[in-house]
Amino acid sequence: MAYPFQLPDLGFEHDALEPHIDAQTMAIHHGKHHAGYTSKLNAALESHNDLHEMSAIDLVSDMSAIPEEIRGAVRNNGGGYVNHTLFWDVMTPGGAEAPIGDLALAVDAAFGSLDEFRAHFQAAAGGQFGSGWGWLCSDAAGALSVQATPNQDSPLMQGLTPLLGVDVWEHAYYLRYQNRRPDYLSAFWSIVNWDRVSARYNDAREV
């Protein structure tokens, strides 16, 4: 998918993630915030025909290739576009409780156990100062790491493939959780789509 970018479907109803994420938050987050990143990314690219064949992932994976006059806009809005597209894909109502297949083995190898991974991930996402994201990432060899990024920066900008992400901007949780970001992060595990995260791991590796 390339320019003009379209707001992707959520794949579930706004209230599907209740009570962990409320319907009003989902409606605003998808219909206003993600839609805003989409339209602003398109506006930044409008007069740059040479970039119109590129996917959003390719655009944000090499920021040095983006013309300086739109680099900031592509970083913020292209990052926002790809981050939220991943976020909707890795959540589902009533999903599997644990990774499957190669990802299950890799999590144990990298972190010791799923519980230890969760603790690392929550510490990184919970400790991100201000707005940003927490991530589980893979490198091309399949090595896992936990990352946190500010604003709408993507791990793609560091050459890593994001497998699982959690949005810790206040717009992602404030209506239900107010300042209680740790409670939002604890609830997040109830809606992770481990089938999709595990499939993303298989796609991330150059084998």
Q: Which of residues 28-87 bind Mn ion (CB under 5 A)?
A: 33
State yes or no: residue 153 binds Mn ion (CB under 5 A).
no
Q: Which is nearer to Mn ion, 153 or 167 (CB)?
A: 167
Q: Does 167 bind Mn ion (CB under 5 A)?
A: yes
Q: Which is nearer to Mn ion, 169 or 184 (CB)?
A: 169
Taking CB under 5 A as the binding criterion, the range among 6-14, 159-167, 177-185, 196-204 that sits at the site for Mn ion is 159-167
**How many residues lie near Mn ion (CB under 5 A)?**
3
Minimum CB distance to Mn ion smaller for 178 or for 202: 178
The reply to whether 89 sits near Mn ion by the rule CB under 5 A is no
Instruction: Report the C-alpha gap between 81 and 193 in whole angstroms.
Output: 20
Residues that bind Mn ion (CB under 5 A): 33, 167, 169
